[in-house]
Amino acid sequence: MLTERIDSSSSSTLRKLVFFLTFLVAANVLFVLALIRAFSGLIPLEKEYSYVGDDFPAELPLNLPPAALVLSSDATHFSLTADDDWGTLFPLSDGFTTLRASGSANAPGRTFLVSMVHQLHCLDAIRVAFVTNRTGAAHHVEHCLRYLRQTVLCHADTTLEPDEPGVRDGRWEHAASGVGAVHRCRDWTVLRKWLDEHPAEPLRGRANDSLST
């Protein structure tokens, strides 16, 4: 009789333990599901764009890995007159690329210029204008100066560049060359490779015709 009571008590305790564990697991599952439902509205889903009208992303949909750039004082490349060096900065189609809805090879495409290349173009335009003093270049240079000013402000690079005081007009003044400072960047080589592989589609028609791609 005593053995039967012990067995019965053990069985009852085991059932209670199993019930409690089952309840605990179920409660955890429900809690996780509730969290997923609550936060799903806060996590933006990847949007599909038609590239028709204003339906296109603000940035090129390309994931660029992080990179670091140590500023250099290398004077052997990219001088004012080094046309060949500056020419290496520009991908095919000069940074223009044609995008269209994914999985729709026959859908109408939309052509864009990637801002990094536009910024490089502006630097090159200022360089060429300085070297050649070409008549009529002032308007282009002014556009580029305004464009680059706003781009620099937009990026608001907070990299710290050590003070290198120097004497100017007989007085010590703060100065910084920026050489040796490490900047956190996005890998521009990945972007360059992608642009080379995805050039803009050629424009068709003559100057007096309406444009088509």
pLDDT, tens digit, 9 for 90 and up, residues 83-131: 999 999 999 899 999 998 877 777 778 999 999 999 999 999 999 999 9
- C-alpha span between 79 and 97 (Å, rounded): 29
Report the percentage of the chain scoring pLDDT > 90: 53
160 burial class (0-12, 13-18, 19+ CB within 10 angstroms)? exposed
What global pTM score does this model have?
Answer: 0.71
* Contact predicate 76/151, CB 8 Å: no
Q: Are 91 and 192 in contact (CB under 8 A)?
A: yes
Let me know if 199 is exposed, middle or buried by CB neighbors in 10 A (0-12, 13-18, 19+).
middle
Average pLDDT estimate for 46-72: 90
> Could you say which DSSP state residue 212 is in?
B
Q: Between residues 131 and 16, which one has the greater pLDDT?
A: 131
Which helix H or strand E contains 96, and what residues bound it? strand 96-99
The answer to whether residues 188 and 69 touch, using CB atoms and an 8 Å cutoff, is: no
**Element (H or E) spanning 186, and its range?**
strand 182-186
